[in-house]
């Protein structure tokens, strides 16, 4: 046992981490005869050791085995990190990510290596991919698998997704995976796959070819062989906390926490920190772990490290997760290894395909090449083991989300009517009256959309009928003729009362308000109908959400409330038969990933600053790939005829979850451009290396383990080639060449058996075929009319569009032109349709531009002279804080619909700033225009949205596009409403908001004092 680094001869190398980077590095260093110490923070897991789902008697799972949270004494398998802008999941254990990964080994496409240092390409990496594939022994899943009893089970999920994919005109390929299906000579000793679906929670059958079965075995063998004359140590539960360079030629010192010393003793003492010394240190603690370790060391004594670059280029690999419920055919996601195959999309992003145009001034900006105008992404079949079926249901299909994460192309008229058992109550309120029932209806519709049981629906509906006045407080405070008129007009027009209400009260639909409404409904319901409600909830919990009993319900609620998103496991209903069809059969799990342009930075605070590590993610740069993924997942769900649910954290909070984190210590040829050089040595710190996912300069787009292993193979070879000397090096070189030859022969044999080691390079047909589903967007119409006239000598019409600050613009010139126009009877009417084809992109990416199409009508002396088609853009919320602008650029179009001129024909702006009096409505509807007419005469004036137009046409014209799903429509309108009215509120009611915030803070303080934890806007505790 290594106790004190000072007293021992330094190792040649310390390797930190035993995942793909660490296992490969340690194995090759050991094979080359070096003295090596491998430090791994997690424990060893044998097949029988993996954590299990809680038994029916347990309320909560055994966190100490499930979760890596050493401060709480939990030294388990999974680490789920809330990094602010995203969630990240990784493993802790001997074998790193291989213990919980889905076994897929894919080679990255050639384009993925753009921006990597010199000498890196797909071609130069291929021999190292071969070495990794051969050492691990990749296989391909059969169509059928034998369970523990020897029954042959078809892998339905793969078959179904292949069919769905082909139905969409997209080929489906089987992927190489690290699973033992047949006899590879070690089946007796290790075990074979029985298709239990538990690959991501640990294989209890020894069938996963985890790293401890191959690369790490080399290290273990050497460590347990005293006769080798080589010092090899493996320390598990040893967490490196700091690396210190020695003075001059002195070795590095690595300090580590020895969790083993105090396992089970937390709370009673401090974890001892020990130290070891080595000539070389290889940091392989994963993208997050390596970046954090270097940052902590840099904050202390590791000088030379470029702290500016450290953490940059962190990427989530555009990971996303969707679950399709109620599919027409059975999928059985719990039968077969977690992933067996996938489809490839390689083409323009849906944003580029849907009206956004690069460099076109008449269209909102499309993503640039740097942002991923061209998209590379994969969709793979996912799966899980039976015990976690209920957990997935509880998270993905929770009624808490109010349909926010749902895509379902079911026509609204198929939804049951509100509040009756016989379906007789109309959705629209009585003509002329106020839509008092609108909010209850909205709630009811959302509950229906969540497919609660008929019994629960009936009870909720009946109770809501009694709650006609629920919505009253929302508008009574603002009693006015205008509101009455709007409500009446809205009610009359309303085809779907949910959408109408969302239009007006979209921002009320933010999480906080929904909580308020739900709690009111819940408390009311419980008062009135306690026994039947409890029965119905229980029935719904069991039938729809797979929860077993109230104890489990309580356990799940506690875990959920505690934000324990990573490890929410509940046991499925055991009244279901062990074999044959199950309720969970009609569920398809879809895993997607792609080349991610959403640049991020890991920020590790110094000890003086304190606080947790955060990742700042520039999400808009990643939107093209996420938007295209969403469209493809919707296509697949449509093909399977099911309801798609996306990761709720993504849908509600815009936060991706990644299991494929990359970057943070990126390789770059020149110091100042990255953290390590092209061979993984840290710039400015000779002897310190980073050989894992953190070294990726760009996202590879595919499942990354294979590239991490190949990277480590390549860079450890370069290291050894420079480090070894004389005969020793010659011998090592010969052995290395022999291994490469054997690996290449193995690959050829693999392909001879009809498999492809690189299925993405096969001729896959039209991988650029655009997805069928449109992005979810919004559209509305507005008409503005007013007087215009030629500009007189000495007058100048300055515009915000010409980069003039609002304060420098003389509005008087516009008003004077308006006045002359009124006297001359020259009017301009603009009827425009504004559209954001992808709402999320629009919201996330300033300058928030909408596409405009419509007509400009000229009226002279009361007679319309001309109606001209126009196109253009509207920048909806320019400026900041108390001074906002909306700018319009309109182009006259020729017969082909193209702009007639290079520059805009008309430029207009609205100024939103808070002056004395009620000016919000007037500001938001008054457009100052300047345009050319006749022989380039300059005209100007003012056009406005008339109140009746606004109420009768503009508001009812607002619609969500790209989806038939009522919940998705309602949420789109709510999001847009929150954006628009939120900006108005911040401009015109800043004082009120400040008062509300201070009241809120006071309230929160009181609540805290009472032990109640409040949530912030993102719903995070
Ligand atoms: C659920 C899931 C499914 C996945 N499926 C796939 C898949 O099918 N195919 C694929 O290619 N990828 C998959 N991945 C991703 C894959 O696991 C990772 O990309 C890969 O493991 C990263 O390799 P790495 O060497 O960079 O880091 P890791 O494999 O994470 O290894 C880092 C190791 O370092 C240890 N460590 C961290 N900090 C310290 C410290 N301070 N001191 C000592 N030790 C430390 C960790 O415990 C860990 O063992 C999946 C990931 C998850 C979570
Ligand atoms: S499905 Fe996965 S976990 Fe189950 S036996 Fe096969 S490899 Fe192991």
CA 19 to ligand 1 centroid distance, Å: 5
Contact call for residues 759 and 380 (beta carbons, < 8 A): no
Closest ligand 2 atom to Cα of 180: 7
The reported pLDDT for the residue numbered 619 is 81
Tokens 């006899």: give the residue.
183
Q: Is the pLDDT score of 443 beyond 60?
A: no
What would the mean pLDDT of 417-422 be, rounded to a whole number? 32
For the cut 70, the answer to whether the pLDDT of residue 104 exceeds it is yes
Higher-pLDDT residue of 887 and 430 is: 887
875 and 364 Cβ atoms separated by less than 8 Å: no
Pocket test for ligand 1, best of 285, 288, 594 (most atoms within 8 A of CB): 285
Q: How sure is the predictor about 489, in pLDDT bands with cuts at 50, 70 and 90?
A: very low
Residue 939 pLDDT exceeds 80: yes
Ligand 1 atom nearest the C-alpha of 661 is: 19
Report the percentage of the chain scoring pLDDT > 90: 48
For residue 97, how far is its CA from the centre of ligand 1 (angstroms)?
3
Q: What span, in angstroms and rounded, lies between the C-alpha atoms of 115 and 121?
A: 10
Predicted TM-score of the model (pTM): 0.81
Q: Does the Cβ of 289 fall within 6 Å of ligand 1?
A: yes
Instruction: Please check the confidence at residue 433 and state whether its pLDDT lies above 60.
Output: no
**Digit-coded pLDDT (tens) for 735-787:** 999 999 999 999 999 999 999 999 998 766 788 899 999 999 999 999 999 99
pLDDT recorded at residue 528: 52
How many angstroms does the Cα of residue 103 sit away from the middle of ligand 1?
12
The predicted pLDDT at position 1013 comes to 37
Query: Percentage of the chain with pLDDT > 70?
Result: 74
What integer is the mean pLDDT of 43-66?
78
Residue closest to 593 by CA, chosen among 700, 687, 505: 700
User: What average pLDDT does range 48-59 have in this prediction?
Assistant: 73
Q: Give the other-Cβ count within 10 Å of 4's Cβ.
A: 10
Q: What is the pLDDT of residue 578?
A: 41
Q: Which of 376, 381, 338 is nearest to 162 (CA)?
A: 381
Q: How many Å lie between the centroid of ligand 2 and the Cα of residue 203? A: 5
| pLDDT reported for residue 860 | 82
pLDDT class for 951, splitting at 50, 70, 90? confident
Coil, helix or strand for 968?
helix
Q: 212: Cβ below 6 Å to ligand 1?
A: no
Nearest Cα to Cα of residue 962 among 776, 835, 778: 776
Check residues 35 and 808 and name the one with the higher pLDDT.
35
Q: Which of 24-33, 97-106, 666-675, 857-866 is the least confident region?
A: 857-866
The pLDDT of 187-198, averaged and rounded, is 90
Q: How many CB atoms lie within 10 A of CB 767?
A: 15
Question: Which pLDDT does position 421 carry in this prediction?
Answer: 33
Q: Is the CB of 96 under 6 A from ligand 1?
A: yes
Instruction: Give the separation between CA 775 and CA 769, rounded to whole angstroms.
Output: 16
More confident residue, 703 or 372: 703
Does pLDDT of 670 surpass 90?
yes
Give the range with max mean pLDDT: 407-416, 823-832, 941-950.
Answer: 823-832
CA 177 to centroid of ligand 2, rounded, Å = 11
Return the pLDDT at 495: 41
Give the C-alpha separation, 405 to 322, whole Å: 9
Report for 270-279, 397-406, 478-487, 948-957: range of highest mean pLDDT:
270-279
Instruction: Give the position, in ligand 1's atom list, of the atom nearest the Cα of 707.
Output: 11
Examine the pLDDT at 630 and tell me if it is beyond 80: yes
Q: Coil, strand, or helix at residue 550?
A: helix
Q: Answer yes or no: is the C-beta of 870 below 6 A from any ligand 1 atom.
A: no
Give me the mean pLDDT over the 571-600 stretch: 69
Atom of ligand 2 nearest to the CA of 201: 3
* Ligand nearest to the backbone CA of 296: 1
The confidence band for 1, taking pLDDT boundaries of 50, 70 and 90, is very low
Asked whether the bond before 101 is cis by omega within 30 degrees of 0, the reply is no
Give me the mean pLDDT over the 313-337 stretch.
93
Summary mean pLDDT of the chain: 80
* pLDDT recorded at residue 903: 85
CB-ligand 1 contact for 459 (6 Å cutoff): no
Q: Taking residues 673-679, report their average pLDDT.
A: 96
pLDDT band per the 50, 70, 90 thresholds, residue 802? low
Predicted pLDDT of residue 11: 97
In this structure, of 113-122, 175-184, 969-978, the range with the lowest mean pLDDT score is: 969-978
Between 22 and 924, whose confidence is greater? 22
Structure tokens at 564: 């324990």
Distance CA 230, CA 182 (A): 36
Q: What number is the average pLDDT over the span 612-628?
A: 88
Query: What is the DSSP-derived secondary structure letter of residue 936?
Result: T
Predicted confidence (pLDDT) at residue 308 exceeds the cutoff of 90: yes
Q: Which residue has the higher pLDDT, 230 or 798?
A: 230
pLDDT, greater one: 755 or 500: 755
Residue from 70, 99, 101 to probe ligand 1 pocket by mutation (most atoms less than 8 Å from CB): 101
pLDDT of residue 997 exceeding 80, the answer is no
Confidence at 38, pLDDT banded by 50, 70, 90: very high
- Please work out whether the CB of residue 660 comes within 6 Å of at least one atom of ligand 1: yes
Which pLDDT score, from 0 to 100, does residue 519 have? 57
Nearest CA to ligand 1 atom 37: 285
What number is the average pLDDT over the span 804-811?
67
Least confident of 162-171, 281-290, 540-549, 875-884: 540-549
Mean pLDDT along residues 315-337: 92
Which ligand is the nearest neighbour of the Cα of 297? 1
Q: Quick one: average pLDDT of 82-111?
A: 96
Does ligand 1 have an atom closer than 6 angstroms to the CB of 103? yes
Look at residue 555 in the predicted model and tell me its pLDDT. 53
Question: What separation in Å is there between the alpha carbon of 204 and the centre of ligand 2?
Answer: 7
> Of 231, 274, 234, 230, whose CA–CA distance to 254 is shortest?
274
Among 50-59, 689-698, 758-767, 906-915, the range scoring the smallest mean pLDDT is: 50-59
Looking at mean pLDDT, say which of 5-14, 187-196, 828-837 comes out highest.
828-837
Which residue has the CA at smallest separation from atom 8 of ligand 2? Answer: 203
C-beta 40 within 6 A of ligand 1: yes
pLDDT at 627 over 50: yes
Ligand 2: centre distance to CA 197 (Å): 6
DSSP states of 713-773: HHHHHHHHHHH--HHHHHHHHHHHHHHHHHHHHHHHHHHHTT--SSGGGS--S-TTPPPSS
- Ligand 1 pocket test, pick from 14, 18, 19, 44 with the greatest ligand atom count within 8 Å of Cβ, gives 19
């Amino acid at each position: 046992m290594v106790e004190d680094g000072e007293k021992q001869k330094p190792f040649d190398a310390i390797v930190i981490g035993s995942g793909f980077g660490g296992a490969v590095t340690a194995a090759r260093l050991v094979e080359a005869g070096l003295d090596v110490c491998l430090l791994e923070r997690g424990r060893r897991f044998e097949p029988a050791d993996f954590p299990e789902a809680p038994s029916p008697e347990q309320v909560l799972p055994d966190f100490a085995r499930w979760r890596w949270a050493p401060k709480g004494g939990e030294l388990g398998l999974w680490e789920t990190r809330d990094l602010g802008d995203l969630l990240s999941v990784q493993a802790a254990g001997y074998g790193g990510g291989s213990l919980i990964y889905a076994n897929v080994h894919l080679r990255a496409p050639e384009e993925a290596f753009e921006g990597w240092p010199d000498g890196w390409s797909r071609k130069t990496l291929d021999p190292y991919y071969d070495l990794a594939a051969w050492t691990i022994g990749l296989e391909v899943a059969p169509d059928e698998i034998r369970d523990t009893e020897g029954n042959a089970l078809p892998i339905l999920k793969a078959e179904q997704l292949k069919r769905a994919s082909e139905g969409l005109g997209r080929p489906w390929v089987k992927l190489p995976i690290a699973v033992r299906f047949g006899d590879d000579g070690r089946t007796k000793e290790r075990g074979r796959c029985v298709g239990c679906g538990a690959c991501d929670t640990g294989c209890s059958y020894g069938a996963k070819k985890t790293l401890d079965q191959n690369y790490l075995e080399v290290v273990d063998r050497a460590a347990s062989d005293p006769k080798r004359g080589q010092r090899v140590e493996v320390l598990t539960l040893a967490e490196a906390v700091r690396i210190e360079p020695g003075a001059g030629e002195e070795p590095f010192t690595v300090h580590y926490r020895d969790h083993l010393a105090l396992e089970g003793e937390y709370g009673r003492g401090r974890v001892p920190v020990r130290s070891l010394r080595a000539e070389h240190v290889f940091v392989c603690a994963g993208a997050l772990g390596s970046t954090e370790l270097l940052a902590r060391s840099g904050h202390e004594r590791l000088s030379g490290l470029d702290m500016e670059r450290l953490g940059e280029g962190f990427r989530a690999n555009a990971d996303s997760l969707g679950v399709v419920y109620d599919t027409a055919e059975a999928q059985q996601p719990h039968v077969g290894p977690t992933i067996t195959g996938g489809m490839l999309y390689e083409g323009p992003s849906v944003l580029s395909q849907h009206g956004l145009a690069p460099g076109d001034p008449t269209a909102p900006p499309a993503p640039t090449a740097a942002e991923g105008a061209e998209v590379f992404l994969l969709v793979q079949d996912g799966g899980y083991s039976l015990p976690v079926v209920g957990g997935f249901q509880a998270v993905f299909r929770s009624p808490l989300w109010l349909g926010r994460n749902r895509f379902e192309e079911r026509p609204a008229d198929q939804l049951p009517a509100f509040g009756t058992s016989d379906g007789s109550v109309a959705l629209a309120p009585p003509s002329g009256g106020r839509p008092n029932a609108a909010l209850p209806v909205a709630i009811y519709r959302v509950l229906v959309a969540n497919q609660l049981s008929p019994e629960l629906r009936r009870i909720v509906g009946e109770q809501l009928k009694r709650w006609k006045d629920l919505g009253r407080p929302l508008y009574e405070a603002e009693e006015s003729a205008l509101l009455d008129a709007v409500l009446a007009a809205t009610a009359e027009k309303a085809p779907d009362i949910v959408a109408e209400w969302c239009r007006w009260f979209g921002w009320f639909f933010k999480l906080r308000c929904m909580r308020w409404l739900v709690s009111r409904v819940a408390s009311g319901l419980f008062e009135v109908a306690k026994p039947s409600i409890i029965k119905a909830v229980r029935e719904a919990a069991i039938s729809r959400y797979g929860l077993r009993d109230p104890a489990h319900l309580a356990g799940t609620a506690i875990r959920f409330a505690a934000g324990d998103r990573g490890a929410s496991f509940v046991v499925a209903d055991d009244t279901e038969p062990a074999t044959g069809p199950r309720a969970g059969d009609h569920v398809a799990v879809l895993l997607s990933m792609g080349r991610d342009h959403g640049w991020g930075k890991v920020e590790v605070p110094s000890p003086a600053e304190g606080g947790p590590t955060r990742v700042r993610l520039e999400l808009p740069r990643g939107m093209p790939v996420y938007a295209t993924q969403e469209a493809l997942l919707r296509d697949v769900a449509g093909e399977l005829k099911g309801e798609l649910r996306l990761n709720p954290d993504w849908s509600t909070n815009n936060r991706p979850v990644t299991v494929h984190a990359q970057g943070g210590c990126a390789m770059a040829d020149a110091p100042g451009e990255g953290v390590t050089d092209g061979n993984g040595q840290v710039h400015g710190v000779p002897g310190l290396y980073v050989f894992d996912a953190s070294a990726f300069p760009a996202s590879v787009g595919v499942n990354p383990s294979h590239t991490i292993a190949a990277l480590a193979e390549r860079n450890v070879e370069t290291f050894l080639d420079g480090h070894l000397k004389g005969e020793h090096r010659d011998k090592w070189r010969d052995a290395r060449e022999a291994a490469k030859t054997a690996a290449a022969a193995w690959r050829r044999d693999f392909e001879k058996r009809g498999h492809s080691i690189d299925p993405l390079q096969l001729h896959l047909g039209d991988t650029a075929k655009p997805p069928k589903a449109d992005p979810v967007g919004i559209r509305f119409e507005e008409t503005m009319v007013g007087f215009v006239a030629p500009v007189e000598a000495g007058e100048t019409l300055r515009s915000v569009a010409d980069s003039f600050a609002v304060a420098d613009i003389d509005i008087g010139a516009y008003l004077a032109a308006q006045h002359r126009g009124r006297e001359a009877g020259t009017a301009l009417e603009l009827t425009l349709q504004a559209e954001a084809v992808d709402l999320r992109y629009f919201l996330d990416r300033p300058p928030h531009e909408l596409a405009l199409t419509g007509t400009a009508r000229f009226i002279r002396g009361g007679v319309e002279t001309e109606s001209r088609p126009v196109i253009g853009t509207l920048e909806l919320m320019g400026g900041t804080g108390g001074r906002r602008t909306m700018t319009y650029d309109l182009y006259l179009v020729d017969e082909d619909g193209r702009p007639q001129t290079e520059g805009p024909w008309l430029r207009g702006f609205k100024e939103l700033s808070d002056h004395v009096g009620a000016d919000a409505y007037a500001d938001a509807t008054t457009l100052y225009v300047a345009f050319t007419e006749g022989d380039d005469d300059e005209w100007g004036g003012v056009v406005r949205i008339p109140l009746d137009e606004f109420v009768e046409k503009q508001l009812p014209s607002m619609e969500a596009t790209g989806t038939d799903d009522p919940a998705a429509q309602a949420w789109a309108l709510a999001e847009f409403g929150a954006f628009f009215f939120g900006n108005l509120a911040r401009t015109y009611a800043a004082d009120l908001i400040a008062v509300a915030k201070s009241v809120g803070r006071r309230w929160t303080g009181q609540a805290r004092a009472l032990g109640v934890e409040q949530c912030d806007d993102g719903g995070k505790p």
